[in-house]
Structure 1
Amino acid sequence: MKLIYQHMLSFLLIILTTVAIIGYSEIAYVTNQSYSQNYQRMEDYASSLGSLAATDKKNGTLMLNANFLKQMEFVLRGDDLHLRIFDSDGRQIYPKTAKDLHLASDIYGILKQGQEIRIKNNNDSHSYMGHTNDPCTGVLVPWMSEHKMIGAIWLGARVKNVERPIAMAKQNLVNAFIVALTVGAALSLALSYYTTSKIKRLSIATKKVTSGNFDVQLNYKGNDEIDQLADNFNQMVRSLKQSDEEIKNQEKRRDQFLADAAHEMRTPLTTINGILEGLQYDAIPEDAKPKSISLMKKETKRLIRLVNENLDFEKIRNNQILLVKTSFNATKILEDVKMQLSQNAEKEHDEIRIAAPGDLSVYADKDRFTQIIFNLVQNAIQFTKNGQIVISGRRKDHATEIVVMDNGIGMSDEQMKYIFDRFFKADPSRARQGTGESGLGLSIVSSLIKQHGGKISVDSSPNEGAIFTITFFDEGFEQYLSE
């Protein structure tokens, strides 16, 4: 069953159930009122006749005149009421019948105690009143004088007359039920359409997202649960769009990396292959062989470095390396890195300068700390020409801060967003020129610092250089954050 019909059925059941409960209560009330008023009216008549009977008696015997009673019955017939009168022994004395009629003993016993008896339907009662063609409802009222029963009267009315208001109430209920059914169907259709239309919009939007359209956004004005669901849907789609864009960017960077890796590997492999062929066919002079072997060794190291960086990154990313952290002097490491990269800096006409105290304590894995500083400085040299690279360090509260600053080509905000991602290169043109790196250096740096429980940040603008700030916390103050 469709949701709109389920909603309609629910609304209709609620409306009709409410009408039925109210109608049942109304009918019960009208029924009770009709019978109560009828009993009260007949009891008033009986009390009036009882007063006459109590004053018109002789030796405890009723002396009501038969003609008076006939006249009284004639008057009562205008209200469609019937009466019967019984003496103190429970024998019917009016109207006269050929058969000697008496009240049942249990009924007589109740009346003798001065209690009235209300009979809702004489055809359902076991009283002497017996069965009649038209069922009657009425009262048996004892007439008392000086605490003794001197007689009793039965006053009855046709049940159909008493229940006429009840029948009208039932008819009104049927009419109300029909009206409620009609109006309820229209209202439930409108409300169901309004509710399900929102859900239908969500369903259509979901299909669009499934087909790959992440620009879908739902408009909503209310603040009910479906509108909240629409808001959550919009947030989900925005997140999916971001994720999709990120995946596409990662795919582009991966493709770029594969192209760069192939380019970087092809050059040394071509060089090595050419030298080997020259050696094989004695095409290289003897005096040039040492230089050729040296070049071949250099290109081989380049290939090894490219492979090692990939393997190293995978190990770091999968937490497969063991950090042995100790406290040592970071300044000495900074000096060693400066010395190792001095030749590379000279080729780019760069100057490396250290701005740190002679004894700068840091708590880290010494080898990995060296790798981090080496990669950061190497990255600064790569993007700086005829410039200066400053490595500074200082102590902070329970931490050591190292800053690598250059005045090279810098980066845009978009580039900084992905600078620590795998395969990303801030200047892809360098890869085409054969001078670019693999795009893994800063990813390795970021992963290593996070495993140390440290922090790294970058601040840069195009053509204004870059500032990389890393923080290593002291033992017990590390800040391990989930990726």
Structure 2
Amino acid sequence: MFLNPNKSILRKMLTSSIVTVLLGLCAVGLVISLFAKEYIVNSKSNEMIRQAKQVNLAIQNQTKPNDSFKEQLHFFDQAFDSRIWIFDMDGNIVTTSSKDEVNVGKVVSTEVVNQVINGEPAKWNQFEGLKEGMLSVAVPWGKDNDVYGGIVLHSPLKGMNETIAQLRETILWVTLLGIFFSFGVSSYLSWSITRPIQRIDKAAAKIAVGDYSERIQIDSRDEIGDLATTINHMMEQLERVDQEKRKLNQLRHDFLANVSHELRTPLTALQGFLEALQDGLIEEVAREKYYEIMYNETLHMNRLVDDITDLMKLENKEIELVWMAVDVQAMLSKLAFKFHPEAEARGTVIHSIMDEDSPQAYADPDRLEQILNNLIKNAVKFTENGTIKLKAMAVPSEKCVLITVTDTGIGISPEDQELIWERFFKVERGRPVKHKGSSGLGLAIVRELVELHNGSIGVRSEMGKGSTFEVRIPLYDN
């Protein structure tokens, strides 16, 4: 993958690496140069002091220069490649290793003389005006505690400039290699960082347009890998929220359509009947029938409004239960008697199966009756020339009362059994026209009320054979 040098990450990393390498190597080079020069001077001076002491060992028994004395100095001059001076106690140079003796009679500095007489070696150097620096050392000339003067060795610091130049050249090459290495490392690091960032940027761009299907594939376990994992999790959450939002919007759309339909039908009938009554088109004997139809239509609209109100209260958690012991069996008997006329009109028989234990539920009696009322009403509505069985029994192992409403009606298809609890959903497929017309809110309200009681509800059904609704409500604990 080619890296654009104009990208900020590469530029910043490359610049910082090169500047760091340059500053580091320059500092190291300067320190090495200074220490190298000092090291060379110290090493050379220590060596010359050792050589000067060897000269002293050779001439320590001679207090006055003679021909043999000079021959020895000349020998050491050739051996050590150093000029040798001999000075007396006053600092006067009495002889040298050079044959021309141009320095004889000159005086050594008082500071050097005093230091040598005190038995301490002295050293000094001179660089100005010379191609190579000149190093000088001085040691006492004498034997044991007898000091006759001093021995001076002068030697050029050969190779020091070349050594320092080689060091500088080496540092330069190391700097160039460091720059290339920094460029390579920075390029690789930038590539390893920008590649996942580009993937993250691509995913973020899709999120911006509402596409949450993209997933970032990054295997690294560093902070970028953690970021990619977090973004993937965020996209999963956003995708789930988006799906729920679309589903909710569809439910709202269905709700508005259902409510509009439910309201339009009775309102149209009421409008037609009222216009007929106003125009005097209905005979006196038939008016009672029309009034009854109009009254039933208003009841239907009231039930729809009540269902919507209950559903909104449940959704906003505005319903508070009044908890008490409820005789479920007595309640089922009451509801069986209530729906008997409607069931009989359809040729259906309602049986309330009695249990000797007469289980009691811990519930709100009004809301529990609303739950059972909706279930029995649906059973009557979709059962003709059949049987409806109502039963309640205690299940101590589950600490609940099991209430079942079983009918031999038209049943519910398997694909609809998971959807009947959804708000505003209406089971219309496979139903005769005479069974249609509900608002689709009844079972949604039932489920919310059951869950509000900390209970559960389920259904078992088979098309053409009937359905069984099972409600579990907490058992009253004496």
* Pairwise TM-score range, normalised by the shorter structure: 0.7 to 0.9
The 8 Å contact of residues 352 and 391 in structure 1, kept in 2 or not, is answered as: no
Q: What does the per-residue CA deviation read over 1:426-468, in whole Å, with 9 as the maximum and x for residues that have no partner?
A: 436769767232222233233333433x032435466376554
The 8 Å contact of residues 458 and 466 in structure 1, kept in 2 or not, is answered as: no
* CA distance in structure 2 between the partners assigned to 1:55 and 1:42 by the alignment: 20
1:412-431 equivalence runs, <5 A = 412=414, 415-427=416-428
The 8 Å contact of residues 428 and 436 in structure 1, kept in 2 or not, is answered as: no
Range 248-257 or range 432-441, more displaced: 432-441
1:63-78 equivalence runs, <5 A = 65-77=69-81
Q: Which residue of 1 aligns with 2:436?
A: 435
- CA-CA distance at 1:367 after TM superposition: 1.1
1:166-205 equivalence runs, <5 A = 166-205=164-203
- CA-CA distance at 1:370 after TM superposition: 1.5
Range 282-291 or range 312-321, more displaced: 282-291
The residue type paired with residue 363 of structure 1 is Y
* CA distance in structure 2 between the partners assigned to 1:218 and 1:346 by the alignment: 64
Q: Which residue of 2 aligns with 1:401?
A: 401
Matched, 1:369 2:373: no
Q: Which residue of 2 aligns with 1:126?
A: none
* CA distance in structure 1 between the partners assigned to 2:315 and 2:333 by the alignment: 28
* CA distance in structure 2 between the partners assigned to 1:2 and 1:331 by the alignment: 83
The residue type paired with residue 404 of structure 1 is T
Q: Which residue of 2 aligns with 1:101?
A: 108
Matched, 1:206 2:204: yes
Return closer, same or farther for 1:237/1:26 CA change in 2, 3 Å cut-off.
same
Q: What does the per-residue CA deviation read over 1:326-374, in whole Å, with 9 as the maximum and x for residues that have no partner?
A: 2232222232233333444445555544456353222222211221222
Q: What does the per-residue CA deviation read over 1:229-284, in whole Å, with 9 as the maximum and x for residues that have no partner?
A: 33443443333333323322222222222222222222222222333334334433
The 8 Å contact of residues 138 and 156 in structure 1, kept in 2 or not, is answered as: yes
1:144-159 equivalence runs, <5 A = 145-146=143-144, 152-153=150-151, 155=153, 158=156
Query: With structure 1 as the length reference, what TM-score do the two structures score?
Result: 0.78
How many pairs are equivalent?
Answer: 461
The 8 Å contact of residues 361 and 400 in structure 2, kept in 1 or not, is answered as: yes
Q: Which residue of 2 aligns with 1:455?
A: 455
1:303-314 equivalence runs, <5 A = 303-314=301-312
The 8 Å contact of residues 416 and 458 in structure 1, kept in 2 or not, is answered as: no
Secondary structure of the structure 2 residue equivalent to 1:65: helix
The 8 Å contact of residues 91 and 107 in structure 2, kept in 1 or not, is answered as: no
Query: With structure 2 as the length reference, what TM-score do the two structures score?
Result: 0.78
The 8 Å contact of residues 40 and 160 in structure 2, kept in 1 or not, is answered as: no
The residue type paired with residue 193 of structure 2 is T
- CA-CA distance at 1:224 after TM superposition: 4.2
The 8 Å contact of residues 348 and 384 in structure 1, kept in 2 or not, is answered as: yes
What is the aligned-residue RMSD (CA, Å)? 4.1
Q: Which residue of 1 aligns with 2:314?
A: 316
* CA distance in structure 1 between the partners assigned to 2:25 and 2:417 by the alignment: 71
Secondary structure of the structure 1 residue equivalent to 2:401: strand
Range 81-90 or range 303-312, more displaced: 81-90
The residue type paired with residue 130 of structure 2 is N
1:35-434 equivalence runs, <5 A = 35-36=38-39, 39-54=42-57, 56-57=59-60, 65-77=69-81, 87=88, 95=96, 96=103, 99-104=106-111, 108-109=114-115, 114-116=119-121, 122=126, 133-134=130-131, 136=133, 138=135, 140=137, 142-143=139-140, 145-146=143-144, 152-153=150-151, 155=153, 158=156, 161-346=159-344, 350-355=348-353, 357=355, 358-382=357-381, 386=386, 388-396=388-396, 399-406=399-406, 408-412=410-414, 415-427=416-428
Secondary structure of the structure 2 residue equivalent to 1:341: helix
* CA distance in structure 2 between the partners assigned to 1:241 and 1:39 by the alignment: 77
* CA distance in structure 2 between the partners assigned to 1:66 and 1:428 by the alignment: 133
Q: What does the per-residue CA deviation read over 1:184-218, in whole Å, with 9 as the maximum and x for residues that have no partner?
A: 32443344234312211221222223223333334
Structure 1: 5+ residue runs without aligned partners? 124-130, 477-483
Return closer, same or farther for 1:178/1:59 CA change in 2, 3 Å cut-off.
closer
The 8 Å contact of residues 134 and 158 in structure 1, kept in 2 or not, is answered as: no
* CA distance in structure 2 between the partners assigned to 1:149 and 1:451 by the alignment: 116
Range 258-267 or range 217-226, more displaced: 217-226
The 8 Å contact of residues 87 and 108 in structure 2, kept in 1 or not, is answered as: no
Range 327-336 or range 423-432, more displaced: 423-432
Range 5-14 or range 167-176, more displaced: 5-14
The 8 Å contact of residues 368 and 448 in structure 1, kept in 2 or not, is answered as: yes
Q: What does the per-residue CA deviation read over 1:111-162, in whole Å, with 9 as the maximum and x for residues that have no partner?
A: 566555666x646xxxxxxx65357374745347536766555556556732
Structure 2: 5+ residue runs without aligned partners? 97-102
* CA distance in structure 1 between the partners assigned to 2:170 and 2:433 by the alignment: 91
* CA distance in structure 1 between the partners assigned to 2:12 and 2:79 by the alignment: 56
Q: Which residue of 2 aligns with 1:13?
A: 16
* CA distance in structure 1 between the partners assigned to 2:223 and 2:6 by the alignment: 16
* CA distance in structure 1 between the partners assigned to 2:279 and 2:146 by the alignment: 153
Return closer, same or farther for 1:90/1:294 CA change in 2, 3 Å cut-off.
farther
Q: What does the per-residue CA deviation read over 1:377-412, in whole Å, with 9 as the maximum and x for residues that have no partner?
A: 334445555464544332435832334354653354
Return closer, same or farther for 1:200/1:422 CA change in 2, 3 Å cut-off.
same
* CA distance in structure 1 between the partners assigned to 2:333 and 2:194 by the alignment: 71
* CA distance in structure 2 between the partners assigned to 1:380 and 1:159 by the alignment: 117
* CA distance in structure 2 between the partners assigned to 1:389 and 1:441 by the alignment: 20
* CA distance in structure 2 between the partners assigned to 1:245 and 1:234 by the alignment: 16
Return closer, same or farther for 1:320/1:54 CA change in 2, 3 Å cut-off.
same
Q: What does the per-residue CA deviation read over 1:50-97, in whole Å, with 9 as the maximum and x for residues that have no partner?
A: 1341452358778893443344334444xxx56555555666556535
- CA-CA distance at 1:375 after TM superposition: 2.5
Q: Identity over the aligned pairs, expressed in percent?
A: 23
- CA-CA distance at 1:301 after TM superposition: 0.8
Return closer, same or farther for 1:19/1:324 CA change in 2, 3 Å cut-off.
same
Return closer, same or farther for 1:317/1:46 CA change in 2, 3 Å cut-off.
same
- CA-CA distance at 1:300 after TM superposition: 0.8
The residue type paired with residue 9 of structure 2 is Q
